[in-house]
Structures are given as C-alpha cells and as structure tokens.
Chain A
Amino acid sequence: MSIVGELLARHHERLAGFPAPLQQHFESGLRALAPRLSPSQLQQWTETGVELTALSLRSWEAASEYFRAGPDLPKETTWEAIETLGREAVTMAADSAPLAVSFLRAAPAAIAAVGPSHIRQWADLGRRLYKGNWKSSSLAAQFYDLAPQLFQVVRVSQASRLVLFVDELSRHSYELAAACLGVAPEVLKKLDDDDRLPFIAFAVELAQSSWADSRLYFERGAPLIQKVHSPVRERYLLLAAQVARGPNRSAFQYFEEAAVALGELEPDDHNKVIELAEQLAPYSAYAAMDFITSVPRVLQRVRIDELQNWQDAGLRILKQSHDGGEAYFRLQSTRGEDILDTLSARVELNKVGEILRLYCKALTGRNVSIQSTSNLAEKGIGWVDEQRASTEGSTIFLPDVMERYHEKDSNFAAVKVFATHQAAHIEFGSFDFAYDRPGTLFGATARESIRSESSAAVTDMERFFDLFGERQLAADLYELAEDARIDGAIKREYGGIRRPLQRIQRDEVEKRPDVRRMPLRIAFVENLVRASLDAHDTVLWPRDRAEVMAQALGLLQELAGPGTSVEDTAEATVRLYMLAMSIPNVFQDGDDNDWDSVEPMEGGQSMPMDGAGEMGGGGSDPQFGDVGEGEGEEQYQSPEDVDFRGDFKPELVQLLMKLKKDAQGGDAGEMSPQALTPEQLQELLEKSVEIDLDALMEGDLDATTGMFMNNLQKEAGTPTSEKDKNGQPMSDDSTGAGEGEEPLKPIVTIYYYDEWDFRAQDYKPRWCAVKEAKLEEGDEGFYENALKEHAGLVAQTRKQFELMKPELFRKLKRLPEGEDFDLDAAIDWMIERKAGGAPNEKIYWRRNKIERDVAVAFLIDMSASTDEEINKREKKYDDDDYDDDPRKYLSWWVSKRRQELTSPPKRIIDLEKESTVLLMTALETIGDQYGIYGFSGYGRDNVEFFVIKDFDEHLDNNIKKRLDKVVPIRSTRMGPAIRHATHKLILTDAKVKILVLLSDGRPQDHGYGRDRTEKEYAIHDTKQALNEAKREGITPFALTVDRSGHDYLKTMCEDMGYEVVADIEALPSRLPTLYRRLTE
C-alpha cells in the first residue's frame, strides 16, 4: 500500500464525520502532492490538515481549503513553504476559522504571486488586520482573497504599507477600510511602481488625520497624482501629507485642487513650483498647497520667472500672519491682488475698462461703452474674431488681455492705441458716410463718374459698395484707406499718442509677409497697407510698373493729410480700385532685384476721373462690372489684418445703426422711412463681404442667415429703452430710468463689494455680489392699515417731529463781527473803555443759519428668522400668571384665540414694517431725505438688496405697495448690504448722513465664516462695514429686537450707537424716538 493509501485509510474515520468534500479534497490533495513530497513530509502535511479540523466547530472548512490548495500549489513551492503555510493556517484557524479559510483559499495564487518565501509575511499582514471580531476577520479575509490580484501589482513591502493604511482606516470604519482595500489593486495598478509607496504613505497620513477623505483619495487620487510630474511626485505628496496632519480641513480637497492645478502647468515648471511651495510649508502647509493651486491663475498674469517675487511677497505676509498669508495664496486678499497687479506686465481690460471708457468718452463726446471682444463675437452679428479690437458705433470692443510687451506701461500704451483708433473711427466719422455728400478734398467726381444702377440699397455704405464688381477688393481698399485717414488724423490731432502708435505700426509691419512673393494685385494692396502703416520704406514694387503704385501712394498720403472726410476715403477707394484693376493679378517674372521702393506721387486727387471712361471705355464701365479672373490670373485674397485696427465693418455698422434707428421709430426725413424688410436685409447680408456666414455658424445658409438676422435685429432692438433724442444709444446708463418702459420686470443691477476677513486682516476683493432691485409691489392696504392701527402713535409722532422742525436761525453772541451789536457786550465794552481797560472786541451777534440737511438710510433685515411670531416668544412669560387657576387661563386662552382668528398673529417683520411706516410719516413731516431698503440673500454671490424707497423717490402709492412685499426671505449677510447702503448715502449730498440697521439677530449667511456655527467672521465683517460707513462721515446705528443682542452688538458696534429693543411691541414707538434723538 502506498503512503497515499495508508494515509487515506488512517484518517478515513476521523474525516468521515465531516461533509464529503473534505474527504475528496484530502484525497486529491494527497495524490497531487505525493510525487513532490517525501512520505514523512506527506504525513506531516496530512496531520496538519487533520489538526485543522479539530480546532473549532467550523475549522473543518479550513482543513478542506487546506487540502484543496494542495494540488494548486505552484511547482516551486518548497516543503518549507508548505510547512509554513500549514503552521500559519493552524494558528489562524485557532483564532478564526473563516480567516484561515480565506487565507488558504488564496494561498496557491498568492504563493505564485509573492513567491514561496514570503508566505509568512503575507500571513502576518492579514493577521494584523484581524482584531478578534467578525468585522476585522472579514476584512482580513478580504485581504487574503485579494492576494492574487494585489500581488500581481505590488511588492510585499508596498503591501505592508497598504495594510497599515487599511488597518488605520479600520479603526474608524470597517466599511471604509473594506471599500478601500477592495479597490486597491485597481488603483495601484494605475500607478507607476515608484509612486506607489508615496501614494500609500499619503493615504496613511490621511487615514490618521482626516480619514473620511481617504476613500475619495483612494478612489480618485491615482489619476490626480499622475498629473504631477513624476520626479516631484513624492515631494508633492509630502506637502499634501503635511496638510493632512493639520486639523479640521479637507486634506483631499487640497490635494485634488493642487494636483489639478499642477496638471495645467508645464511639467518642467513643476519642480520650481514645488520648490517654492516647500519654502512656504514650514509656516503653513495650507498656504503651500493653496500656492500650488493658485499658480495657474497667477501665471495668467505673471511670467513663470516672476512667480518667485509673488511668492516672496506672500511669504513675508505669511510670516506675520498665517491667516493673512493663507488668504494671500488663496487669492482672496486685496494685498495679494495688488501685488499681483504690480508684478504683472499684462493689462487686463476689466482693470482699465473704466479708465478707457472715460477716455473714449472724452475723445468722442459720446457715451461709448467698453466691452471685451469676446462679447462681440458672442452676439453673432458678424464679428467673429475674439482677439482683435472693433467697434460697432457705440461700443468699443477691446481684447480682454494685452500682453504684447514685457512692461506694463507698453502694454497699456498698446491698449490705449487700440482704443484710440476705435474711438477715432467714431470721432472722425467713419460710420457717417453719406453717398451723396462730396468729400472735402476729393469731391464726388469718382462716384459720379460711375453709373450706378441699383438704388435699392439699404444703407449708403451698401450703395457705395454696390458700385464695385470685386466687392472684396473694394472693401479691402476702403478699409485700408479709411484706416490710413484715421491714423493720420490721430497723429495730427493727438501728438502725445503718436509715438506709441508708431511703435505698434512698426511692430505690425514687421509681422507682414514678403510682398515679393505675392501676385501683383495682392502685392499692390499689401503695399498700400504698409504705406497706411507709415512704412513707406517697406513698400516694394516692380520697377517697370512704378507709376501706378506711386499714384496710389500719393492718394493715400493725401488722404492721411488734414481736412479729409469719410467721403474722401470713398473717393480714394474708387481711384485705388481702378488702379488695382489695371494690374493683372499674376506673379512677377524676374528676380527680387526688379523690386524697388516707390516715391508717392504728389497731387493724387487730381488724377483725372474722366479717365474712368478712358480706362473702361463706354458708358458702363467694365472695370466696375463683374470682373472674373483673367486668363492665368491668381485669385484675389485679402491682405492680412492689422491687429490694432481690428475688424472694421463699415457696412455692417451702418446697417446696425439703421436698424437701431428703425427700432426706435425712425427719424423724420429718413432715406427710407419704412422699416427694412427681411428680404432687403437678407440681400444685403448675402452681398456684403464683411460677414463670413460660414465662419459665424454652421448649417445651411438660409438657416444661418436667418439666425444671423435675428441676432442683428435683437442687437438693434434691445437698446431701444435707452434712446435719447439724438438716436444715440446711452450705453452707460445702466439704470435705464426712462419713461415708457415696461415697469413689470425689476431691473437688477449688480454691485461688487470687498469683504473683510478678520483673520487675514485684509479684504477679499470683489467678494460679494449685491443685486439691487426694486421690491415688487403688493397691496396698498398694508400702509393704510398700519397707520390706522397706530393712529394715536402717528399723531403723537408727528407732533414730536413738528416740534423738531428746525429753527432756521440761531442767534450767536459775542462775535468779533456780525450783523449788529450785542447790546450787553457793547455796554461792557464802553465801560471797560471808559475805565481805561482793554475792552473785549467781541461785541457783535449774528444769526447763524442751521439748515437741517439729513439723509437717512434704513436697512431692514428680511431674513427668514423675522418670520417668527411674536406671541410665541411672549407665551412662556404669560403662562406663569395662570398657573394656579385653570379656568382663568382657559378664558384667557379663548379670548386670545379669538383675537388671533380675527387678526393673525404678528411676526417680527410685521413690526419692523409698521415701525417703518410710522417713521416714514415722521420723516415726511420733517422733510429729511430718506431711503428704505431691505436685504436678504444666500451666499456671497447673491446678496439681495431690495429698494423699497430710494433717496430720489417720493413717497407715492408704488412705494406704499412695495412696503407690503417686505417679507422674510433668506439669510443675513449684513456687511455687503451695509456697504451698499453706504454707497447710496455717499451719493446724497446731505451734511448729516445716518444709516439705521434694523435686524432681529446676528449676521449669518452661507459661507459667512468658516462654518455655519462660526460667529466671529460675520460679526467682524459687519463691524468693518460699519466702520467704513463711519469713515465716510455716516453715523451708523444698529437696532435689534434680539434679546441676546448685547453680546455681539458690543463687538459689532464698539463705539457706535446701538440699542436692543427688548420689548418688540414697543418698536413702533421706539424707532421714531430714537431717530429724533439721533438727529437732534
């Protein structure tokens, strides 16, 4: 009998008590191992298995797995390894049978993966996870089960770190630990071998400090870490780990944001960025990570080599104050903005837009507005280029950012040149072209010499371009001629900008392509563009054709001279067109030496226009008919655009102006009094070369044209509310308070305000958006009812305030000069003098005029908490009185209830409103200017500011109706509301300005502080806002009905007036009294 049979027989009885698979596995295992092991080893193997069965009730399952693993053990598994496996299994099964089962089940594949020599380590790792309870046991089991996949990916050393992580995590949550473990092979597989240890190391840090984040990290971290350039990954993770060690912040978020940020950078720059971040880390790890996160945005404004300067400045702040430095690197501090601004060479439109707007307004005398070019492209009305400046007659569009040069000044000068050129189009009348008006210099001979057939043109510009067969060529010539005229005018009129303009012109010329590589007609136009850029020296032209070029250059030169009008440009265009058409569009034979510079010919305007006939012959000039390319000629192409001149589209602008005029009802005596038909419009658009419909939108032509026309009409139609008598749009009249507007939709105007971060001791720039709108109108009844209800109080208040009516004059005595003698003083003086003393010279009196000149803004808290009913508050006090006598209480309750039914219970806001009504009557009596505003909102982007009565409004029914709509809404972000009210007060020119804040509790809003429970941030910001008001000469006063108001009001209003109205019902009588005291 073989050893196998013997062993089978020996243990048969022992194993028979267990389910059948055990026996089967035993037998097959035995048979499989028999060739590999010596009999004694085989016996030992068997005994270990048998021993397993006896350890606990369910340990036979482990034994079963043990036997089953036998045949699957890899070839290279030594006896020692098998022995170890068995021993480990026994120890394990003693603790937990299922654990051993998992261990053994995974063993064959694990051994294959880790190698037979690492079995013990592997077993140890799993055991570390086992804490004696079933959850830990299943976690450990999961670890073993995972072994095949896991060890395909990681080495044992890495796995031990992973176990460390999972173990750490399991102390907080087994589910989390299991989930992380489950995805580990997948996650780790994605990483490079070198990155795994640091990756897990950071995970361990996370698990120790902010374990809740670790799942996020584990699941999403791998692709993130790969965004970091591989040589610095480890350093990056070290930085992130420092954040994880800090308290209370989401380390994963820092990790993620910074990694994404690095992903946006060039990998070569990572080292530098990490290095700079590492310098920050000793002071604040958060600042270091925030720094990395902010780098892409900072780099939009400074060059990479300037980054160090920005970091230096922040580091100095960081050393003084952690919060200040962190805000700096989060780009949430005004100082940070300022420094960035100084460092940055680029010029951003939103920073200089207002300056340029005023500048252009000064130049043109019109209300031009300045917008970004991207806005223009978005409109879909023909302009597609997002980079180049343009104007459509009332708005000047400039690129968002200018960074041509390394110095800020030069960049600004460049923007200014752009703006000046566009403004000059408006100032010097580029869009005022009238077909029938002769030019001041050239007359109208050229236009007259051509027979024009169509007169159906919508605009004068269209009519003009209709003259030409080669419309594109004509448009190009017209554009360059007009630009030459405009630049000439600028240089003549504005001596100061000449130099920057010349610099930009030079730069533009350098970018232009070689003229000698072009077909002749194109070269001709190209030369003209150069000449228009004042670069006559770069004009090159075949010597044998010099005359035509010289003529053209002469024309251009005169056009740039003084006293020319847009009609002269048109005249010049006709002449240039004829010259151009006389040149074949072919490549010049011969070499570059045949090209030479050309001197402009004097007296170009005298170029005989009767020559038109000669050149074309016959009445209908073939030059102006449809001219196809001649034999062997190249197709005409427009010259490259000049950056600063941008997209000049005279035809479109005239059309737009016309549409706008039509939309406004048209002017009397207009060329075509009837509105434009869509057909006309379509025809025009199809003809015009200024619109590249393909570039504009995709899809079939008809649909595109239709949509385009829609856009155009929308553009022309919308600004109608801003019309003025000249038909010129008032683009900067944002409030649009004109008559004849539909009053239904409230106009929302957005204002931005900084917010004070007391930790950073700095403002967060443009942090809050205050949306101002008129409150909608409700029922008028409320106002009257309130008056009726408080009739007695109203009368009383009125009387009080009437008494206050200012005595306009007050007699001031004992003055050195005045209206008349103060008799007493004069007598004293006489006596003194007679007595030989030195009399007091102050013997006059005068009336001193006191004008009551008060403006007051009331700011009403419309937060949700004002919804609270007042009775509820009172009840607990009332209850006490009736404790003893239930009947008494019941009768009280019944009467109360009845009362409640007839008049619904009052809420805090109702009393706020009623008090306001009372005060309004008082204010009307005394004649102070006042404004009433409500505020609420949610979050910093949405601070709602409701106008109930603005300073310049008079108390009328609409305002009474608005008062009705004062209702509880949302949160209380007081700071921005106060700042906006301050802004409103500053606009009044009253001598005494008062800001009354009426609230029911502390300031509170989403994101108004580190978290919802933090009070300090909001209180400090509010305090700062009140301080700002004070600095502007405004007297702030806070009034609250919150009984616990004293604690925070003391901080908030340190040295300002405040009052807590404990008995809220007294508010209506208290408010006017307070106001009186405040202004007396």
Chain B
Amino acid sequence: MTEAATKTGPKVHAVEEYTVQEEPYYLPIGDEVELFETAYAQRIPVLLKGPTGAGKTRFVEYMAWRLGRPLTKVSSQSGNEEEYRQPLITVACHEDLTASDLVGRYLLDTDGTKWVDGPLTRAVKVGAICYLDEVVEARKDTTVLIHPLTDYRRLLPIEKLGQVIEATDGFLLVISYNPGYQSALKDLKHSTRQRFIAIEFDYPPKDQEAEIIAHESGCSLAAATDLAKLGEKVRNLKEHGLGEGVSTRLLIYAGRLIANGIPARRACQVGITWALTDDAEVQRSIEEVVTSIFE
C-alpha cells in the first residue's frame, strides 16, 4: 500500500468500498477465528471484549479479509471481473457520536438539501461488516439502531426518511468494548449486550506475543522476547497504579523504535513508560523493570 501511495497519492475509498486487500498479520491465540467464522455464517452479532491494544481491531480486519475468501469473482458494470472482498466499515465511537452520525443526515447542496447515508446505513446496504469500536462511548440513542439490527429482524430504521432498510446478506454488526476502564456509568446495558456473542481478548501469552512483536516491528526475536517479558511484568502492575496493562500495540511501537536504532532502554521509556502513566513513582517502577530487563 505504501508503494501505491507514493505513486498515485493517497487512495481514497468510499466507506463501503474499502476492503482489506492484503492479508493482515494475525496470530490466532485460541479458537477465536473459528468462532467468528461460525458466528458470521449464522449472522450472529459479535462483541469483542478486551483491553486496549490487544488486537481486537486487527482481528476484525483479519476476519474481514478471511471472509472475503475464497475470492468470488464478480462482474462489475464495466464488464471487468473484480475480486469480491468483504467490505469492512469501522466506526470509532466517541462520546458525541449520535444516531444520525451513524445513519446519515441531510447536507446542504446547491439546490437545497441532500440526504447522505451514514456509515451504518452504507454497511447495511452493501452487506459489509460494520465494526463499532468502543461502542459504550457512543450516545445512548445509538442503541435504538443497534437493537433491530442485531436480532432476527436485521432492520435499520431511518426515521428522517421514513424508511426501514433490510440488511443485505453479508452484513454483520461487530462491536468492541473494553470492560477495564469504563466506569459503572458507561457499562454496556444488558438489553444490548445480550444480543451478541462475546469473544474475550486478552494479551497473548509471552511467546506468542514475542512472535507478534517481532513480526510487526521488525526487531530481533531476542528484543521481542524481552519486550514481551516486559509486557508481562508491567501487566502485573495493573490496578496498582496503572489503569491498564501495557498493550501489545505499545510493545510493538517500542519494538519498531528498537529495530530502527533507538537504544532499547530509551525506546521503552518513550514507548512504554511515559506512554502508560504520568505518575512519577509508577514511572520509576516501570523504568526499574525496564533497566532490569534491557541492558
């Protein structure tokens, strides 16, 4: 993709047309791939639970890519045969995300107003996997949309247009949720959560994590092993000064810095210690673990 970008400028996709082209790297830890495939086949919505940076998003991407295979060749309008891929629409939820942000809204045009579909509507129309990341962050009115889509009805009501859209066959709603840091206020409601099967994500075991780090960051396996060890140790501090354990993602970042010549201790300091916490004492403790592991 970087190659393409340098030649032709950034690739711009319509939301519903974005597909995962290359196989994303994903190292299955348990039976999550199988579970997801089965759920998809049954069109059962999936809830991915787990701490930040444990690979939830990567997993969805990987599954989107995987489900797009075997590549069905579809004739497009121009007559060329194109590969069919499973489109994936990802929406990162934030606390101001409202139902209209998902469904769509009128926009002004030269001649008045024009309706524009929101990402969820598009996903429903094209049969994409719609991934609502950190769904509890969104406003409560979004649940109005989620509920009819996630039971047998598979309908998306669009109030403003007075329409109801039936979801295309390939559509599946996937949401993610991090039970760790949300306050009681932001807990997922039971009426919502009981519409999904839940796959739990946790940080991978040390050896696998080392493998992931090495692959993703390009650093040596030895450095990756040390990083994974560091990850394991720092996660022991969870809830003791640290809200969250260090994510695999952060470890990979540190690995990249190391792979590109930053001294390991420094890389861990900026990539892990300082990223994790502002508490000077906890920082110092993590630093001591870092200096114990890395020379």
Chain A residues proximal to chain B, CB less than 8 Å: 354-359, 361-365, 367, 416, 420, 493-499, 732, 819-821, 826, 829, 843, 846-847, 849, 989
Report how far A499 CA is from B229 CA in the complex, Å: 19
- Cβ-defined partner of A493 (8 Å) among B96, B229, B290: B229
Q: Are B281 and A354 in contact (CB under 8 A)?
A: yes
Can you give 30 A-B contacts (C-beta < 8 A)? A354-B281, A354-B285, A355-B285, A355-B288, A357-B285, A358-B285, A358-B286, A359-B285, A359-B289, A361-B237, A362-B237, A362-B286, A363-B236, A363-B289, A416-B288, A420-B292, A493-B293, A494-B293, A495-B226, A495-B294, A496-B265, A496-B291, A496-B292, A497-B291, A499-B295, A819-B98, A820-B105, A820-B106, A846-B98, A847-B98
Report how far A843 CA is from B109 CA in the complex, Å: 13
B269 within 8 A of A: no
Chain B residues whose C-beta falls within 8 Å of the C-beta of A843 in the assembled complex? 108
B180 within 8 A of A: no
Within 8 A of A (CB), among B141-191: 160, 183
Chain A residues whose C-beta falls within 8 Å of the C-beta of B113 in the assembled complex? 821
Q: Are B233 and A496 in contact (CB under 8 A)?
A: no
Report how far A5 CA is from B254 CA in the complex, Å: 122
Additional A-B contacts beyond A354-B285, A362-B233 (18; CB < 8 A): A355-B288, A358-B285, A359-B285, A363-B233, A365-B233, A416-B292, A420-B292, A496-B294, A496-B295, A498-B295, A819-B98, A820-B100, A820-B160, A821-B106, A826-B108, A843-B108, A846-B98, A989-B183
Chain A residues whose C-beta falls within 8 Å of the C-beta of B226 in the assembled complex? 495
Within 8 A of A (CB), among B92-126: 95-96, 98, 100, 105-106, 108, 113
Q: How far is the CB of B59 from chain A (nearest CB, A)?
A: 26
B139 within 8 A of A: yes
- Cβ-defined partner of A358 (8 Å) among B98, B106, B160, B237: B237
Report how far A493 CA is from B230 CA in the complex, Å: 10
Q: Are B229 and A732 in contact (CB under 8 A)?
A: no
Chain A residues whose C-beta falls within 8 Å of the C-beta of B69 in the assembled complex? none
Q: Are A358 and B281 in contact (CB under 8 A)?
A: yes
Nearest opposing residue in chain A for B284, CB measure: A355
Q: How far is the CB of A849 from chain B (nearest CB, A)?
A: 7
Q: Are B241 and A358 in contact (CB under 8 A)?
A: yes
Report how far A497 CA is from B229 CA in the complex, Å: 14
Known: A495-B294, A820-B105, A821-B106. A361 touches B236 (CB 8 A): yes
B234 within 8 A of A: yes
Chain A residues whose C-beta falls within 8 Å of the C-beta of B232 in the assembled complex? 365
Chain B residues proximal to chain A, CB less than 8 Å: 95-96, 98, 100, 105-106, 108, 113, 139, 160, 183, 226, 229, 232-234, 236-237, 240-241, 265, 281-282, 284-286, 288-295
- With most chain B CB atoms within 10 A of its CB, the pick from A357, A493, A494, A829 is A494
- Cβ-defined partner of B292 (8 Å) among A367, A494, A847: A494
Chain B residues whose C-beta falls within 8 Å of the C-beta of A355 in the assembled complex? 281, 284-285, 288
Report how far A101 CA is from B193 CA in the complex, Å: 110
Chain A residues whose C-beta falls within 8 Å of the C-beta of B98 in the assembled complex? 819, 846-847
Q: Are A362 and B289 in contact (CB under 8 A)?
A: yes
Q: Are B237 and A495 in contact (CB under 8 A)?
A: no
Report how far A493 CA is from B290 CA in the complex, Å: 12
Chain A residues whose C-beta falls within 8 Å of the C-beta of B286 in the assembled complex? 358, 362
Report how far A819 CA is from B295 CA in the complex, Å: 55
Report how far A355 CA is from B287 CA in the complex, Å: 10
Chain A residues whose C-beta falls within 8 Å of the C-beta of B293 in the assembled complex? 493-496
- With most chain B CB atoms within 10 A of its CB, the pick from A365, A496, A847 is A496
Q: Are A496 and B100 in contact (CB under 8 A)?
A: no
Chain B residues whose C-beta falls within 8 Å of the C-beta of A849 in the assembled complex? 95-96, 139
- Cβ-defined partner of B236 (8 Å) among A365, A499, A819, A820: A365
- With most chain A CB atoms within 10 A of its CB, the pick from B284, B290, B291, B293 is B291
Nearest opposing residue in chain B for A990, CB measure: B183
- With most chain B CB atoms within 10 A of its CB, the pick from A359, A821, A849 is A359
Chain A residues whose C-beta falls within 8 Å of the C-beta of B289 in the assembled complex? 359, 362-363
Nearest opposing residue in chain A for B110, CB measure: A833
Q: Are B292 and A819 in contact (CB under 8 A)?
A: no
Q: How far is the CB of A667 from chain B (nearest CB, A)?
A: 24
Chain A residues whose C-beta falls within 8 Å of the C-beta of B241 in the assembled complex? 358
Report how far A847 CA is from B284 CA in the complex, Å: 44
Chain B residues whose C-beta falls within 8 Å of the C-beta of A732 in the assembled complex? 240
Known: A358-B282, A820-B105. A495 touches B295 (CB 8 A): yes
Nearest opposing residue in chain A for B229, CB measure: A493
Chain B residues whose C-beta falls within 8 Å of the C-beta of A496 in the assembled complex? 265, 290-295
Closest 5 CB pairs of A and B: A358-B285, A365-B236, A497-B292, A362-B233, A494-B292
- Cβ-defined partner of A361 (8 Å) among B105, B106, B240, B281: B240
Nearest opposing residue in chain B for A366, CB measure: B236
Chain A residues whose C-beta falls within 8 Å of the C-beta of B295 in the assembled complex? 495-496, 498-499
Chain A residues whose C-beta falls within 8 Å of the C-beta of B108 in the assembled complex? 826, 829, 843
Q: How far is the CB of A457 from chain B (nearest CB, A)?
A: 33
Q: How far is the CB of A707 from chain B (nearest CB, A)?
A: 36
Q: Are A364 and B236 in contact (CB under 8 A)?
A: yes
Q: Are A362 and B236 in contact (CB under 8 A)?
A: yes
Nearest opposing residue in chain A for B289, CB measure: A362
Q: How far is the CB of A797 from chain B (nearest CB, A)?
A: 26
Report how far A495 CA is from B282 CA in the complex, Å: 21
Q: How far is the CB of A501 from chain B (nearest CB, A)?
A: 10
Chain B residues whose C-beta falls within 8 Å of the C-beta of A356 in the assembled complex? 285, 288
Nearest opposing residue in chain A for B232, CB measure: A365
Nearest opposing residue in chain A for B237, CB measure: A362
Report how far A843 CA is from B105 CA in the complex, Å: 13
Q: How far is the CB of B42 from chain A (nearest CB, A)?
A: 35
Report how far A493 CA is from B206 CA in the complex, Å: 13
Nearest opposing residue in chain B for A412, CB measure: B288
Q: How far is the CB of A716 from chain B (nearest CB, A)?
A: 25
Report how far A829 CA is from B108 CA in the complex, Å: 10
Chain A residues whose C-beta falls within 8 Å of the C-beta of B139 in the assembled complex? 849
Report how far A416 CA is from B234 CA in the complex, Å: 17
Chain A residues whose C-beta falls within 8 Å of the C-beta of B265 in the assembled complex? 496
Chain A residues whose C-beta falls within 8 Å of the C-beta of B290 in the assembled complex? 496
Report how far A732 CA is from B237 CA in the complex, Å: 12
Chain B residues whose C-beta falls within 8 Å of the C-beta of A497 in the assembled complex? 291-292
Report how far A735 CA is from B290 CA in the complex, Å: 30
Chain B residues whose C-beta falls within 8 Å of the C-beta of A362 in the assembled complex? 233-234, 236-237, 285-286, 289
Report how far A1018 CA is from B139 CA in the complex, Å: 48
- With most chain A CB atoms within 10 A of its CB, the pick from B113, B265, B292 is B292
Q: How far is the CB of A198 from chain B (nearest CB, A)?
A: 51
Q: How far is the CB of A371 from chain B (nearest CB, A)?
A: 17
Chain B residues whose C-beta falls within 8 Å of the C-beta of A493 in the assembled complex? 229, 293
Report how far A829 CA is from B95 CA in the complex, Å: 29
Nearest opposing residue in chain B for A419, CB measure: B288
Chain A residues whose C-beta falls within 8 Å of the C-beta of B288 in the assembled complex? 355-356, 359, 416
Report how far A107 CA is from B290 CA in the complex, Å: 86
Q: How far is the CB of B97 from chain A (nearest CB, A)?
A: 11
Chain B residues whose C-beta falls within 8 Å of the C-beta of A495 in the assembled complex? 226, 293-295
Report how far A493 CA is from B222 CA in the complex, Å: 11
Q: Are A819 and B294 in contact (CB under 8 A)?
A: no
Report how far A357 CA is from B290 CA in the complex, Å: 15
Chain B residues whose C-beta falls within 8 Å of the C-beta of A358 in the assembled complex? 237, 240-241, 281-282, 285-286
Chain B residues whose C-beta falls within 8 Å of the C-beta of A364 in the assembled complex? 236
Q: How far is the CB of B287 from chain A (nearest CB, A)?
A: 9
Nearest opposing residue in chain A for B226, CB measure: A495
Q: How far is the CB of B179 from chain A (nearest CB, A)?
A: 16
Chain B residues whose C-beta falls within 8 Å of the C-beta of A494 in the assembled complex? 292-293
Chain A residues whose C-beta falls within 8 Å of the C-beta of B106 in the assembled complex? 820-821
Nearest opposing residue in chain B for A846, CB measure: B98
Report how far A960 CA is from B229 CA in the complex, Å: 50
Chain A residues whose C-beta falls within 8 Å of the C-beta of B237 in the assembled complex? 358, 361-362
Nearest opposing residue in chain B for A732, CB measure: B240
Report how far A355 CA is from B281 CA in the complex, Å: 6
- With most chain B CB atoms within 10 A of its CB, the pick from A358, A363, A819 is A358
Report how far A355 CA is from B292 CA in the complex, Å: 14
Chain B residues whose C-beta falls within 8 Å of the C-beta of A989 in the assembled complex? 183
